[in-house]
Structure 1
Amino acid sequence: MKIILTMILLSALLSACENGSGNPPVDIETNGGLNGVEIVETSDKYDVTQGLYYVHATIKATGKQVFRNVYVDATYYNAMGHVVAQSKGEADLVLNPGEKDVVETACFFPTSSDMPTRVVLTTREEYSK
């Protein structure tokens, strides 16, 4: 009986450390960036089979300007606050006023214990040289 109670308590403790998808919780923050483009929604998913952590950011052109070559940069931090990885995702070629687009970034973390605890997203426009 003690073994069963111990197993139940251990299971409850472990599940409290994870989010509903069974993966460690990650805080996603947005950090301004490109004036006139706003990140209006975020979501994430960890693909255990491939070790890929995906972050999706819905961006919206909030002004009257047309944007080209918009990127969402993702900076991944560990529990100590150190940068552990960076990635970027590209929006559609043109983002017209009022339009939205979903931008995906992905980064390789071999196991869920390698996952970051925080991700900061920033928008920017990249020009060809």
Structure 2
Amino acid sequence: MNATIYHNPDCGTSRNTLALIRHAGIEPTVIEYLKAPPSREQLVGLITEAGLTPREVLREKGTPFADLGLGEASVTQEAMIDAMLEHPILINRPFVVTPLGTRLCRPSEVVLDILPPLTRPFVKEDGEVVIDNDGHRLR
């Protein structure tokens, strides 16, 4: 199976998601989206394929969200997309694309919905058990 992750290596959720993909035996295409932002077409595609709206994808914490007035009810979806393209840090992460679908993987365990079933234990970098020794998903 192939997979692509829109990754931020400074983000724990993104690192855990990448680790889960690799735990499934998949070496994904890793796109550090802050260095190589998606095109408008790619970003709209990710949002649409994940079944989300631009507002649901906007990241507030540690971004210019408030300074740009993106919380105002009058901000259009088009303006939100424009802001994310101009300031990629506004794109919440990580997005993952596999043949089984596209997800915004927050929390990181969401990626399990679009990976083959995992049976080996997996523990996040903070010690949280995601898959136990019996191969059961805990979240």
Q: Same fold (TM over 0.5)?
A: no
User: Which structure shows the higher strand fraction?
Assistant: 1
Q: TM-score, normalised by structure 2?
A: 0.23
Q: Which protein has the larger Cα radius of gyration, Structure 1 or Structure 2?
A: 1
TM-score by length of 1: 0.24
